[in-house]
Amino acid sequence: MNTVDGSLSLWLDQVAGSESGSGSGAGTRTPLDGDIEADVAVVGAGYTGLWTAYYLAKADPALRIVVLEKEFAGFGASGRNGGWCSALFPSSLAKVAKVGGGRARAVALQRAMNATVDEVGRVVAAEGVECHWAKGGTVVLARTQIQYERAKAAVAEERSFGFGEEDIRLLNRAEAAEMAAATDVLGGTYTPHCAAIQPAMLARGLAEVVEKLGVRLYEGTAVTAIRDGVVTTARGPRVRAAKVVRATEGYTSSIAGFGRDVAPVYSLMVATEPLPDEVWDRIGLARRQTFSDFRHLIVYGQRTADGRLAFGGRGAPYHFGSRIEPGFDRDARVHGEIRRALVGLFPVLKDAEFTHAWGGALGVPRDWFASVGYDPARRLAWAGGYVGDGVGATNLAGRTLADLLTGRDTELTRLPWVNHRSRRWEPEPLRWLGATIGLRTMDAADAEEARTGRPSVRAKVFGRFLGH
């Protein structure tokens, strides 16, 4: 089970291998070396920043758009995630309806998310971005009777909001096992609204596309402060802009004044060697469906274009003070648990070699409600708080920000996540205590259900503080 040392992710290794063989995924664009002016300055060259730059440049080619990135395009979650371009929103339909102004607005947001998957597919095809796009949908497995009840409840909630079989359907044992032949499958759910992708290829491809559209992208340029249209960098140069977009997601706490807006929480992944056809015949995922199950502590996986199984999950600790460090990308205990969980799902993998193990920070707002908005008084726009569901949501955010920043009143700018304000996280040590209790609660909830055969009361209680 030897893994690549120093790897940021399987995805970034593949990108680097196709370019320079360095294995680092590092970019080659120059840093900002002097003060400049712009119409729009975007901080962060992940999906949010790149999609925003893309749609702004398309809407008004005359705009002077600058993107600033501390490392290189796709360095953060955009180059390390599970590769699900999904219609998932971190808060449930019921919560969106409660917080966002009613059922009709919740439905509008979910339908926009569903359509976003196809919009990403349209753009990557039109712009020639190769990212191993495969719209196979998502199967979520139920492997205990308690989980099957959760599957039925998930479908019932969607039906109550008017979503039909074309959006999500309940699977029986045979239907679920045909898609993903995991152990102990009793059923599950299936939605077509998801595509498996190679995430780093999407990020790096988008970076190249926006540059061709005239956007200036500076890598190796850390931003330390944003205030009143002035972006200050660690090396000294500043950008003065009519409008600034903060697109920093899990790295938001590194910018002065935003330390409690979003908490960075780590998610870790592993990947196997390319697997032979006879192994895939026993696993399934023939259409590259992304997959998960109904346990409380989230897991997620995909069959890659080169025949690997890439699989991840939560379980890594929150680090006091919202710290983000390279050493946190690896946790031997958590990576071991993720490998065991995957082999538990598919025992045929017990002798497979795991070639990669990595991780990274995602952004979690206090109320688990993603948002996008613009404050003209501060000349500041933002988007984020995707809680790990950002591959699709960032595209919707980029289109929405483009409308907001160009002053257009559209269906997108009227969605309920626009200008939503999450509470700030508590100061330390309360933030650490809350995040740690949450992680341990969900971990214990799965063990409790396995032991008792009944739904976890603690998970139900704590779920009120999450996206439910």
pLDDT tens for each residue of 265-324: 999 999 999 999 999 999 999 999 999 999 988 999 999 999 999 999 988 889 999 999
pLDDT of 322: 92
pLDDT of 22: 38
From CA 324, how far away is CA 328, in angstroms rounded?
A: 7
Burial class (CB in 10 A: 0-12, 13-18, 19+), 160: exposed
For range 37-54, the mean pLDDT:
98
Is residue 165 within 8 Å of 53, Cβ to Cβ?
no
- Rounded to the nearest 10°, the torsion over CA 283, 289, 292, 293 is -70
Q: Which tens digit of pLDDT belongs to each residue from 220-271?
A: 999 999 999 999 999 999 999 999 999 999 999 999 999 999 999 999 999 9
Is residue 396 within 8 Å of 86, Cβ to Cβ?
no
- Answer yes or no: is pLDDT of 24 > 70: no
Task: Name every residue whose Cβ is closer than 8 Å to that of residue 164 and which is 6 or more positions away in sequence.
Answer: none
pLDDT of 28: 78
Provide, rounded to the nearest whole percent, the portion of the chain with pLDDT above 90. Answer: 87
Q: Which tens digit of pLDDT belongs to each residue from 373-389?
A: 999 999 999 999 999 99
Task: Name every residue whose Cβ is closer than 8 Å to that of residue 86 and which is 6 or more positions away in sequence.
Answer: 117, 138, 193, 194, 195, 290, 389, 391, 392
Helix residue ranges, H only, 323-389: 332-345
pTM, rounded to two decimals: 0.94
| SS3 category, 123 | helix
From CA 88, how far away is CA 194, in angstroms rounded?
A: 9
- Answer yes or no: is pLDDT of 124 > 90: yes
Instruction: Kindly report the average pLDDT of the chain as a whole number.
Output: 93
From CA 365, how far away is CA 422, in angstroms rounded?
A: 6
Instruction: Give the position of tokens 């193990």.
Output: 357
Residue 56 exposure: Cα atoms within 13 Å on the Cβ side:
33
Architecture of domain 10-82+200-262+367-414: 3-Layer(bba) Sandwich (3.50)
pLDDT band for 451, please (50, 70, 90 cuts). confident
pLDDT of 23: 40
pLDDT of 462: 55
Q: Supply φ then ψ for residue 134, to 5 degrees.
A: -145, 105
pLDDT of 453: 78
